[in-house]
Amino acid sequence: MAPGIDPFRRALRSPPAAAAPRNLASALHRALRLCAMPEGWLAGQLRYAILSRLPIPGPRGSDGAGAERLAAAGPGLWPGMPERGAALLAGEIELLGRKLPLPEPFWSFRPEGDRLMAELHGFAWLADLVAAGNAGIVRARELIDQWLTLPESRSRDLRHPAIAGRRLAAWLQSANRLLVGGDAGFDERLHRAVAEDATRLARLLPGGLCGGALIEATKGLLLASLVLPQGRRWEGPAMARLAAELDRQILPDGGQVERNPSRQLRVIRDLAEIEIAFARAGRPTTPALGAALRSLAPLIRLLQHGDSGLALFNGANEETAGLIETVLTAAGETPQAMTKAPHAGFQRLAAGRMVALVEAGRPAPPGFDGGAHAGTFAIEVSIGTERLITGCGAHAADADWAEALRATAAHSTLSIAHSDSSPLLPGDGLASRPGFVSCKREEEAGTLWLELSHDGYGPRFGLRHRRRLYMTAGGEELRGEDRVEPLNDSREERTEALPVTIRFHLHPDVQASLAQNGHTVLLRLASGAGWRLRIDGEGAAVALAESVYAGRRGRLRRSQQVVVETGYRGPESWVRWALTRELRKAEPLGRPDEDPPADLG
């Protein structure tokens, strides 16, 4: 049974929206965020607000587009899952990984939350239903016909570009299966619906969208441009907009600006599907598209653990190894793993069977930070194909969980006074972010060394967090040091200590027990391999606490976390830790004034 949200918040010592600015302060932070939004965003919002309320003439007749042409976009990269389609036929739907019972009639279903509603009315489930065979195809046609008659299908909310673009892509990528029944009436109705949504989308885009959501909506329009005679006039502007967005969103090292590994994979998938559809139609795309695919793909390798799944940074889920490989192959790349992405802000330390992934960058800028997490300097560690230290992940299907999992305390990093390294705005972005985030990497004789620093706690406490990491050449040990120190090099001491907490969230398959000395945690992987996490720090207290793991989309699992509690009075506070293979003889952690990298200084 999955844990409840309140016990989880208590385990994190994080009440609902504890770090979020309130009332006047919240309004001020939101106003400042609006001023920092990407160029043209505010104008785009105003344009959408006006145009979306004006009537848009629908197309007349069929414009000569028959079933064969409507199916020309072809299927998507990732086929539907027949077992999910069969479950849907039996009365259960899966949205964002969450399985929900269906009422009758189908379209009386009202899932809680905007994200689930967007998945439902964006037809994210359609490919699964079509994959279930003839019964699924017949049911899919029925549900599309029913949706077209719903009064709310004409509403501004369900015609929003973010939903309409998804819906167009879902319909067109399943059209080769939907249009095989010889039902000319259905073919005509689907054609008219595609033409209406595409006409509206062409008029409204960018529709106030940013980031991957704009690329996804543009994909829907471009697929429609391939199958509709009138689509030729949309193709050029849509391709130009796509090229401009790729230039805006892709960083020099190939990172996508939202810094979410799952989003990066989704953007690659959307671009690959556009390229494949246009190649099938014998139509050229913009050169920027191919360049973007070559740039984006290698970073996915950096962000993969030994099990081939993705790191859980900034709202990501593991994803499936099959999907990742399919997308990268379609992108035309089978790249080797990068070791560092300084612009995207990720680092990969790998030696022997150990992989450590580090969230080492500044959070996404305003406009691209809607789902950003406050996880600066979070680490995740895997041994072979087994995850050991991780983050809590993301649970987009539940708004309360989605918010709780954004907190710093839901990541394997340090927090001060139970607050967030980047204060969160409830449901939408960050109130602020660190002014600077630095990362220095060194490699010598197979050993790997990172020195990290950020000032996210500066405005509230006048303090910086420094994290230093050192991995041995054989991957048998990972050492770390976390320091809290004043920004202005003050030597003053506080009369009351600030709480400092370092967390190591463990994968649910890891068994943990506290050794008798109280400063060593014994960790046992499912394979039986043993590791020790040793802690050293003045006044540091080590405990095991409950946690939760949401690495798989829509699924919550109970897990544990190692919690290290200490305090900061000044002039500095430090904690050292070492993750070591159990068979290796433990060495002293050393004094804090020794030179790195031997013992992390």
Q: Which tens digits make up the pLDDT trace of 240-282?
A: 999 999 999 999 999 999 999 999 999 999 999 999 999 999 9
**Taking CA 356 as the corner, what is the angle to CA 271 and CA 269, rounded to the nearest 5 degrees?**
10
Judge whether residue 411 has pLDDT over 90.
yes
d(CA 102, CA 531): 45
DSSP letter, residue 61: S
The mean pLDDT of 479-483, rounded to a whole number, is 98
d(CA 29, CA 6): 27
Q: 3-state DSSP: the chain helix, strand, coil percent, rounded to 5?
A: 35, 20, 40
What tokens appear for 417 in the block?
A: 């006074």
| 600 pLDDT tier (thresholds 50, 70, 90) | very low
Contact (CB, 8 A) for 551 and 390: yes
pLDDT at 311: 98
pLDDT at 445: 92
What residues form DSSP beta bridges with 536? Answer: 576
What residues form DSSP beta bridges with 340? Answer: 347
Contact (CB, 8 A) for 144 and 168: no
pLDDT at 22: 56
The mean pLDDT of 593-600, rounded to a whole number, is 42
d(CA 519, CA 530): 17
Judge whether residue 586 has pLDDT over 60.
no
| 32 pLDDT tier (thresholds 50, 70, 90) | confident
pLDDT at 38: 82
pLDDT at 596: 42
d(CA 43, CA 31): 16
pLDDT at 56: 65
d(CA 595, CA 601): 4
Closest CA to 454 of 441, 474, 442, 436: 436
Q: Is the pTM of this model over 0.85?
A: yes
d(CA 119, CA 147): 14
| 65 pLDDT tier (thresholds 50, 70, 90) | low
pLDDT at 63: 52
Contact (CB, 8 A) for 318 and 551: yes
Work out the burial of residue 24: count CB atoms within 10 Å of its CB; fewer than 13 is exposed, 13-18 middle, 19 or more buried.
exposed
For residue 581, the surrounding DSSP H or E stretch is strand 573-581
Closest CA to 541 of 502, 511, 510: 502
| 3 state DSSP class of 405 | coil
For residue 463, the surrounding DSSP H or E stretch is strand 463-471
Judge whether residue 490 has pLDDT over 90.
no
What tokens appear for 430 in the block?
A: 């960050």
What tokens appear for 558 in the block?
A: 């109970």
Q: How many CB atoms lie within 10 A of CB 539?
A: 12
The mean pLDDT of 108-124, rounded to a whole number, is 94
The mean pLDDT of 105-115, rounded to a whole number, is 94
d(CA 78, CA 327): 8
Residue type, 289: L
d(CA 153, CA 96): 21
What tokens appear for 415 in the block?
A: 């927090």
| 591 pLDDT tier (thresholds 50, 70, 90) | very low
What tokens appear for 539 in the block?
A: 């006044």
Distance of alpha carbon 303 from the chain centroid: 12
pLDDT-wise least confident of 36-50, 535-549, 582-596: 582-596
Work out the burial of residue 308: count CB atoms within 10 Å of its CB; fewer than 13 is exposed, 13-18 middle, 19 or more buried.
middle
pLDDT at 66: 59
User: What order of strands is seen across the sheet that includes strand 530-536?
Assistant: 437-444, 447-454, 463-471, 477-486, 573-581, 530-536, 520-524, 511-514
CATH class of 348-581: mainly beta
Distance of alpha carbon 466 from the chain centroid: 25
Q: For the chain, state the CA radius of gyration.
A: 25
Residue type, 260: N
Which residues have C-beta within 8 Å of that of residue 426, sequence separation ≥ 6? Answer: 17, 20, 26, 403
What residues form DSSP beta bridges with 479? Answer: 470, 578
Contact (CB, 8 A) for 506 and 559: yes
DSSP string, 267-325: HHHHHHHHHHHHHHTT----HHHHHHHHHHHHHHHHTB-TTSPBP--TT-----HHHHH
Mean pLDDT of the chain: 89
d(CA 335, CA 315): 24
pLDDT at 589: 56
| Residue pLDDT, tens place only, 305-346 | 999 999 999 999 999 999 999 999 998 866 677 899 999 999
DSSP letter, residue 365: P
| 597 pLDDT tier (thresholds 50, 70, 90) | very low
The mean pLDDT of 173-200, rounded to a whole number, is 90
Judge whether residue 588 has pLDDT over 70.
no
Work out the burial of residue 547: count CB atoms within 10 Å of its CB; fewer than 13 is exposed, 13-18 middle, 19 or more buried.
buried
